[in-house]
Amino acid sequence: MAITHDKGIFTLNTKNSTYQMQADSFGCLLHLYYGRRTEGVTSWGLKFMDRGFSGNPTPDRTYSLDVLPQEFPTQGTGDYRTPGLIVRDSEGIYGVVLHYKGFEILEGKYSLKGLPAVHAEDAQTLAITLEDKRIGLTVKLLYGVLPEKDIITRSVIVRNDGSKPVTVMKLASSCLDFTHGKFDLITFQGRHTMERQFQRQSLSHGQFTVGSRRGMSSHQFNPFVILADHDATETAGRCWGMQFVYSGGFLAEAELDQYSQTRLMMGLAQEKFAYPLKPGEELAGPEVIMTFSSEGLGKLSHNYHACIRENVCRDTRPSPIVLNTWEALYFNFDGRKILEVAQSAKGLGVDMLVLDDGWFMNRNDDNRALGDWTADEAKLGCTLGELVRDVNSLGLKFGLWVEPEMISEDSDLFRAHPDWAMTVPHERPVLGRNQLVLDMSRREVREYVYGAIAGILSQGNIEYLKWDYNRSIAAVYSRTSDSQGKVMYDYMLGLYEVLERLHEKYPEVLIEGCAGGGGRFDAGMLYYTPQIWCSDNTDALDRMNIHYGTSFGYPVSTIAAHVSTCPNHQTGRTTPLKTRYTVSMAGGFGYELNPLTLTEEERREIAGQVLQYRTDREIITEGMYYRLSNPFEESYCAWEYVSRNGSKALVNAVIPYNHGNMPLVYVVLRGLSGGTFYRDIGTGKIYPSDALMDAGLPLEMPKGDCEAFTFRLERV
Ligand code: DGJ
C-alpha cells in the first residue's frame, strides 16, 4: 500500500521516500516528514513551546501555527509566513481557518478537469478534505503517489460550499515545511534566447521568490525549483523538487523564517489574480510534481525524466528528423524554393520538411497577418495541399508552423473582431512583436482557433505542427468575463481545451511546443506537445548551457534542438559542425540551415550525422542521462547516456575555449555496470568500468575553441 492512514497519521510511501502528515487534536493538518523511506511515525519532530508574537489559535500558548510545519498554510491563522491560500469573503474579510474533515484513499491517479496532470496506472490517490465552517469553504488536498517512480503529486481544489460569494486571492498547490536544515535553492533563470540558466544560492533569512507575471511560464524563470542540502552534489545529498504542471503565471517561494525553518511553495501567480467563486463553484490549483532524492541531483533528475516521459507526455513515438526553414530562409521563399530545399534536404537523409513562418497571406515579415490562416497561394505558387503533396512525393513528411493564440492589428481577423484581442478599453495596447494575444478565455475565440487549425490540417497530409507563441500577455481584460481576476487562469484553461480537442481529433499529428524558443518549456505544455523548441538560440556553446539547465527537470526526449549554420545567427560565433551536432543530439533533432548552400563536404558530414543519430536515438531518448560536469563552473561540459540495461554508453563532451598549454580534461563516467569492462567502439580499447567511473577518460588536447568529443562504449 503506497498510502496508509493510522491514528490520524497519513503515510505516503514510494520506493525510496516517505511523506507523512498528521491531523492533530486541534484539527490542523501538520506536515511531519518528507525524506528517505522510513518505517514508523515521525511526529517526534514536533516541539511545542510558547513563542512570543506567534499567534495561538487556542488558549494553549505552546501551540502556534507560526512555528509548526503545515501541510497547507492559510492566511489569518497566526502563521505569519507565506500562506498557500488567501480568500476574501463576502464581507471583505481576509482569512481562512481550515480544519480537518475527512479523507479518501483511491486506487489510481486523480485527474484535474480541464488541466493537464500526471497520468499513471500504478498509482494511488489520497484526498484530504479540510473546511472553514465560517465561510463555508471546502478545500480538498489531492496527493497522487507513483511508488515506483518516487513521485508524489499535489493539487488542491477549493470549493465554495457556503451561501455567499468568495474570492480566492492566492492559491498554491504544494507546500513543504522543514523544521531545520541548511539549504540551497536551485532555480532556472534566463531571458529570450538564454533560457534556464542554472542558478544555485544558499537560503538566508527572508523570502526568495521566482515566478512569472507574463501569462506564460516564461523564458525568465522556469516553473521548476529544487531545494537541496547545502552540500548536495550530483551524486550525494538530499534534494526536493517542485515542478508545476502549468504553462501560465506561477509563483515559487522559499522562505527561511525567524527560527531557521524553511518553507517551499509552488502555485499560481498572485498578480492579476482574484478568482471569484459563487456558491457551488470550485477552483482547481494546477498540479505540482514533487520528488525527493537522497542520492543527489542526478537521481532527482532521473525521477523527473521518467515521470515526464512516461506519465506526462502522451505521445511516445520517436520524432522525425526535420529540416526547418526558419533560419534557412526566414520569410524569403516561394513554393519553388521550398521544393528545392526539400529535395536537397531529402538527400541529407532527414524525414520531414517543416515550413516555418511566412506561408500565409500577407506574412512576409513578422509585423502582421497573425490570425489569417489562409495559405498565400501566390507566394507558394500552389495550394497548401499541393505543396504538401509535392513535398511528400519527394519522400519527405510535411510539418507546418502556426501561432494560433495571436492576432495582428493588421489582419482581417482583427478588422472583423477587434474585441477578440486582449486589450484594455480606451488604452493604446502594449504590443509585443507588433502583435496582440487572442482572448482564449472566450468560447467563440476558442472555436475560431480550433476551426482554423483543423482547417489547415484538412488541406493535406500535415503530420506535425510547430505551435509558437511570441509575446507575453500585458493587458488582462476580457470583454466577456464576469471578473477580470479570473482571466489569466481561464486563458490557460481555454488553451488547454483547444489543445486537448486537437489531440483527440488528430492523435497522429505531432505538435511541437514553442514560445519564441523555450518561453513555455513546462510540464503543462508537455502534456499536449511532447517536445518543445528549447531556445531560439542555436549557438552550440549557449545551447549546451541551456540544455544543461533544462536537463534538471526535463528529459532529453522533450528537447527540440537543431544544427544551424555558422556564423550563428544569434551570437555570430562559428563552431565546428561536429560540435553543433553533438549539442543538438536530443529528442526533437534536426537541421535549421539552407541545404542548398552547403559544401559537398558538409553534406557528407551531415548525411553521416543523420545516420548516426538514427543509431543513437534510442539511447538518447530512452537511456539514463547523466550530467558529468557543470559548465558554469568547469572548463568543459560533458554528459552521458547509458542504455537501460547498462550495455551501452554514449559520452559527449565539449571544451568551449582552448587555452595555451591546457590541463588535460578527464571525463569521469557514471551509471555503467560495475565490475566489468567496456569497449570504446571508436578505438577498440577496453576499459574497466569501475576505473571509468573513478579515474575517467582523458580528452585529447583541443586544437581550437569549441571542440567536441564523443565516445561510444559497449559492455564486453
Ligand atoms: C519564434 C520561434 O521560436 C522561431 O523558431 C520561429 O518559428 C519564429 N518564431 C517564426 O516567427
- Distance (Å) from CA 712 to ligand 1 centroid: 34
Does residue 600 lie in a domain region?
A: yes
For residue range 166-197, list pLDDT tens digits in order.
Answer: 999 999 999 999 999 999 999 999 999 999 99
Q: What is the pLDDT of residue 155?
A: 98
Containing structural domain, residue 78: 3-312
For residue range 290-303, list pLDDT tens digits in order.
Answer: 999 999 999 999 99
Mutate which of 327, 468, 539 to test ligand 1's pocket (most atoms within 8 Å of Cβ)?
A: 468
Q: Are residues 396 and 281 in the same domain?
A: no
Q: Are residues 273 and 330 in the same domain?
A: no
pLDDT of 475 over the 90 cut: no
Does residue 632 lie in a domain region?
A: no
Specify the pTM.
0.98
Q: What is the mean pLDDT of the chain?
A: 97
87, 124, 213, 344 from 91: Cα distances, Å: 11, 39, 28, 69
Q: Are residues 561 and 536 in the same domain?
A: yes
**CATH code for the domain of 553:** 3.20.20.70
Indicate which residue of 132, 253, 405, 522 is catalytic: 522
Q: What is the pLDDT of residue 689?
A: 98
Q: Are residues 590 and 451 in the same domain?
A: yes
Mutate which of 325, 356, 559 to test ligand 1's pocket (most atoms within 8 Å of Cβ)?
A: 356
Q: Are residues 485 and 550 in the same domain?
A: yes
For 213-274, where are the E strands, in sequence order? Answer: 224-229, 239-244, 250-256, 262-268
Domain end point (choices 312, 344, 364): 312
Ligand 1 atom at shortest distance from the alpha carbon of 533 = 3
Q: What is the pLDDT of residue 456?
A: 98
Is 242 strand, coil or helix?
strand
Pairing state between β 531-533 and 510-513: parallel
**Number of other residues whose CB lies within 10 A of the CB of residue 229:** 17
For residue range 496-536, list pLDDT tens digits in order.
Answer: 999 999 999 999 999 999 999 999 999 999 999 999 999 99
167, 193, 524 from 441: Cα distances, Å: 19, 29, 17
Percent of the chain predicted with pLDDT > 70: 100
Q: What is the pLDDT of residue 41?
A: 85
Does residue 83 lie in a domain region?
A: yes
Q: Are residues 233 and 353 in the same domain?
A: no
Does residue 386 lie in a domain region?
A: yes
**CATH code for the domain of 661:** 2.60.40.1180
Mean pLDDT of 214-231: 98
Q: Give yes or no: 522 in active site.
A: yes
Query: CB under 8 Å to 659, separation ≥6 — which residues?
Result: none
Cα–Cα distance measured from residue 521 to residue 515, given in angstroms and rounded to the nearest whole number: 8
Q: What is the pLDDT of residue 182?
A: 96
Q: Are residues 645 and 682 in the same domain?
A: yes
Domain end point (choices 622, 649, 665): 622
Q: Are residues 263 and 377 in the same domain?
A: no
Q: Are residues 186 and 290 in the same domain?
A: yes
For residue range 613-646, list pLDDT tens digits in order.
Answer: 999 999 999 999 999 999 999 999 999 999 999 9
Q: Give yes or no: 253 in active site.
A: no
pLDDT of 458 over the 90 cut: yes
- Distance (Å) from CA 473 to ligand 1 centroid: 18
Q: Are residues 126 and 246 in the same domain?
A: yes
Q: Are residues 241 and 332 in the same domain?
A: no
* Residue type, position 426, single letter: H
Q: Are residues 159 and 305 in the same domain?
A: yes
Number of domains in the chain: 3
pLDDT-derived band at 137, boundaries 50, 70, 90: very high
Does residue 370 lie in a domain region?
A: yes
Mean pLDDT of 304-319: 96
Indicate which residue of 271, 315, 334, 602 is catalytic: 602
Phi first, then psi: give them for residue 297, nearest 5 degrees: -75, -30
For residue range 37-53, list pLDDT tens digits in order.
Answer: 999 888 888 999 999 99
Cα–Cα distance measured from residue 51 to residue 555, given in angstroms and rounded to the nearest whole number: 45
Cα–Cα distance measured from residue 576 to residue 566, given in angstroms and rounded to the nearest whole number: 9
Q: Whose CA is nearest to atom 2 of ligand 1?
A: 516
